[in-house]
Structure 1
Amino acid sequence: MRVYLFIAAIAGGATFLLTPLIRHLAIQIGAVGKVRARDVHTIPTPRMGGLAMMLGFAVAMLFASHIPFVSGLFQNNHQAWVVLAGAVAICLLGMADDLWDLDWMLKMAGQLLIAVFVAWGGLQIISLPIGSLFAASPTLSIAITAFLIVVSINAVNFVDGLDGLASGIVAIGGIAFAIYSYIIARSSPSYASMATLIDVAMVGICVGFILHNWHPAKLFMGDSGSMLLGYLITCASIIMTGRLDPASIHTSIYLPVFMPILLPVLVLFLPVLDMCMAIVRRLRKGQSPMHPDRMHLHHRMLKIGHSVQGAVLILWGWAALISFGSIMILFFPARFVAIGFAMAVVLLTVATMYPYLKHRIPELRAENARLEAARRAAAAGGPKASDGDGDGASAGVGTGDKAGVSD
């Protein structure tokens, strides 16, 4: 465990130190995001922070390759280098988008090519738990792997709308999954795990970048960062879950993963949910799935009254609940986990809706007070109508009619 913490510290420290240099480079080459109608920030801010994150990840992986505890992971196969090559490629594609705003179809084509390259290089899901475990054909394995990578890349890209949001959500999912993969690795002759190694390095670069990206951000990660994070967390999940054999792992450990094809959705539940909602919303309007708008989850949080920091912290809370909820059954009985999960849902729901309720409850009270005053006025006006006063009678009838309508 200490080795993994050391690798995470190296990744975080390298990213933290390199980010100011990348920020200066971004300004020099013009990678500065213009303020768009859907943006939350109000001043042009440099992006391309993903380059610092990719360099931090590369430094951590190179250090790890010389650490005795995990060096065997680099010697026995070339999987680590395939992941690193894919990280460099996806980051370069994101940098191109940060600089020139690539067409979404061109960008997705690049994502798909990189995903296929990585899958062809050996990073594949080779078995699927559908009914019973069965061996998938090489073509199907590559197709499923590439699909998962592309979906996760775009899911993180969709949710990257507030300072620190995407990196925080990915870091939380990475911590939860690193714990799980570490537990799985303890059942093997060697505790070393490539999935855990990638996860801890990814968590490190997220933390190192958040220190510069917290609101108000000095630098945005841009597509070079969001695409990189979606790629890395999916690679880690594929490396571990794509090769799990339920016969060799106790059911109580295997079940929390559910199935390999759903694991990226679990650890990236909020980004995937946001992406699915956006696609459905845009298609219903006859728009492109990539058409920008201000209806993402983070936009809705701001609309109901949260500050940027508050919205980010609450969305982090939801991400932590979903990510850690799946691994808690490794340590506690399922009924206790369910009770704790339900309590956390209630607390987070209250926190999420509090700004809306804070403003809405006084409005409802004022509205009820007006209705009560109208009823009292109607009740007071009724007897006057029977006094034989024509004006009073007509007023009473009018008030009664209005009261009846409002009821």
Structure 2
Amino acid sequence: MDLIVLVLVPFIIAVFLSRMMIPVILFITYKKRLFDPIDARKLHQRIVPRLGGVAFTPIQCCLFVITLVIAIKVLHMDIGLETWAILPHFMVLVCGLVILFIVGIADDLVGVNYKVKFVAQVLVASLFPISGLWINDLYGLGFVTSLPPLIGMSLTIFVVVLIINAINLIDGLDGLCSGVVGLGCLSLGVLFMYYGAWFHALFAFITAGVLIPFFYFNVFGVTKRQRKIFMGDTGSMTLGYSIAFLAISFAMNNYFIKPFTDGAIIVAFSTLIVPVFDVARVMYVRWHDKKPLFHPDRNHLHHKFLRAGMSHQSAMVVIQALALLFFLFNMVAVQVISNNIVVILDVLLWVVFHQIFNELEKRKVFVKHSGHLSIKNS
């Protein structure tokens, strides 16, 4: 019971601190006129501040560290010797978050070259293997189990950079990024609690707690009343790094973190299937159309939903439901079938889903065009 309180109390405090901090950020951003630029690629048509992500990292890091100090030094909780083996993971997590926080603020305020951001992402991703946190087992995926350190560490760096950018790219619809990451943190947080990985659960719930007030301001805030805010790159990059840390920690075959489970690597990344698959699809479309791979466009999943006739909030809810569906499906599937078959089913479900929506999108466009023609002829 003490350990459950150790997780839930900081979660509530994170909600409170975020709720207090975001209005202050709103006041400063309107005072200094620090708004997200309006262009053809953006969905919003009014000035909106984009520094909401400034609230995330300070609360995450400070609250996590303070909770650990109180648990160990004040309450004298018996955390076990094995816990000291994973503390370096959390130390580099805090360092990486601070680095991305600084780069993100610079990008949101004055703009940072994408090459600089990429170098920073590779740097913070490299911190995980240095601390001993890396994907060391594929659990039979591709009929591969344990990985050599060089391959596993390189794969970890690639995965972290991929997740950071995937989370950044889905931040194009109100509530989408915070919702997907929040669901992922809550899902992994509950699993970490189940397996007794209390410090990982603590960080997961603190991150989810920080996102709840932001989600409200981002989705339900009214621009005219100066209550709406975006997270910016400061928020999306640090959230991507946070969820990458949790997913890799769950996927790693390390008894200091949690007991071995056959489907760990599938379950770990299940909540990230939608953003990661969407990035892969968009990159393929750009490559197929001979367009620059990193050139912004309006071909992401939420853009497709909007073109199919959905409202912003409906598209956000459906995408989050899709992410949750993949997670629940994989949670059950890994218990009865092999990891390889689960991945194949995930890909097939993704392809079928897109085929359905491609058809809906075509019909919607056809109806619009037909309507214009009939009006013109009349």
Which residue of the other structure, out of 258, 274, 299, is the alignment partner of 2:266? 258
**SS of equivalent residue, structure 2 residue 263:** helix
CA–CA distance in structure 1, aligned partners of residues 192 and 357 of structure 2: 31
Residue identity opposite 2:319 in structure 1: L
CA contact (8 A) 2:252 2:265 kept: no
Specify the alignment match of 1:104 in structure 2.
114
Residues 1:119 and 1:28: Cα distance change in structure 2 (over 3 Å): farther
1:157 aligns with 2:157: no
Match of 1:136 in 2: 148
Cα deviations across residues 238-264 of structure 1 (Å, max 9, x unaligned)?
22321346xx957xx5326438xxx33
Q: Deviations over 1:274-328 (max 9, x none)?
A: 2112211222233222211112111111111111111111111111111222224
**Cα distance, 1:47–1:316 mapped onto 2, change above 3 Å:** same
Distance 1:175 1:285 in 2: 38
Match of 1:175 among 181, 186, 197: 186
Larger deviation: 151-160 or 172-181? 172-181
**Matches of residues 347-386 of structure 1 in structure 2 within 5 Å?**
none
Distance in 2 (CA, whole Å) between partners of 1:359 and 1:296 is 17
Q: Does 1:194 align with 2:199?
A: yes
Worse overlay, 161-170 or 77-86: 77-86
1:212 corresponds in structure 2 to 217
Distance in 2 (alpha carbons) for counterparts of 1:58 and 1:120: 20
One-letter code of the match for 1:324? L
Name 1:116's counterpart in structure 2.
126
| TM-score (structure 1 length as normaliser) | 0.73
2:10–2:63 contact (8 Å) kept in structure 1: yes
Q: Give the match's secondary structure for 1:214.
A: helix
Change in 2 beyond 3 A, CA 1:216/1:18: closer
Q: Alpha-carbon deviation of 1:83?
A: 0.9
- Please report how far the alpha carbon of residue 353 of structure 1 lies from its aligned counterpart in structure 2 after TM superposition: 9.6
SS state at 1:124 partner? coil
Question: Does the aligned pair in 2 maintain the 1:195–1:237 contact within 8 Å?
Answer: no
Task: Go from structure 1 to structure 2 and tell me whether the alpha carbon gap of 1:304 and 1:242 turns closer, same or farther (over 3 Å shift).
Answer: same
Aligned mates of 2:38, 2:50 — CA distance in 1: 12
* Residue 96 (structure 1) shift: 1.6
Q: Which of 224, 228, 231 is residue 234 of structure 2 equivalent to? A: 224
- Contact 1:49–1:225 (8 Å) recurs in 2: yes
State the TM-score, normalizing by the size of structure 2: 0.78
Unaligned stretches of 5+ residues in structure 1: 186-190, 367-407
- The aligned runs of 1:1-400 (5 Å cut-off) are 1-28=4-31, 31-65=34-68, 66-67=70-71, 68=75, 77-130=87-140, 131=143, 133-134=145-146, 136-137=148-149, 139-183=150-194, 185=195, 191-216=196-221, 218-244=228-254, 249=259, 253-255=261-263, 257-258=265-266, 263-264=268-269, 266-328=270-332
Tell me: CA distance 1:159–1:107, structure 2 relative to 1, closer, same or farther (3 Å). Answer: same
In 2 relative to 1, CA 70–236 (structure 1 residues): closer, same or farther, beyond 3 Å?
farther
Q: Is the 8 A contact 1:125 1:145 kept in 2?
A: yes
RMSD: 3.5
- How many percent identity over aligned positions? 25
Aligned length: 340
Query: Please, which runs of 5 or more residues in structure 2 have no aligned partner?
Result: 223-227, 372-378
Q: Distance in 2 between matches of 1:151 and 1:117?
A: 15
How far apart, in 1, do the equivalents of 2:14 and 2:299 lie? 34
Q: 2:264 and 2:152 mapped to 1: Cα distance?
A: 23
Whole-angstrom distance in 1 between the partners of 2:360 and 2:314: 10
Does the 8 A contact of 2:308 with 2:364 survive in 1?
Answer: no
Bigger radius of gyration? 1
Tell me, in whole angstroms, the C-alpha distance in 1 between the residues paired with 2:49 and 2:112.
17
Closer, same or farther: CA 181–192 of 1 in aligned 2, 3 Å: closer
Residues 144 and 28 (structure 1), Cα distance of their counterparts in 2 relative to 1, 3 Å cut: farther
1:25-62 CA distance string (max 9 Å, x none): 33455532111101111012111211101122123203
TM-superposed CA distance for 1:154, in Å, is 0.3
Separation in 2, partners of 1:200, 1:96: 27
Contact 2:176 2:316 (8 Å CA) reproduced:
yes
Task: Judge conservation of contact 1:172–1:323 (CA < 8 Å) in 2.
Answer: no
Q: 2: CA distance between counterparts of 1:362 and 1:292?
A: 27
Distance in 1, Cα, partners of 2:128 & 2:27: 31
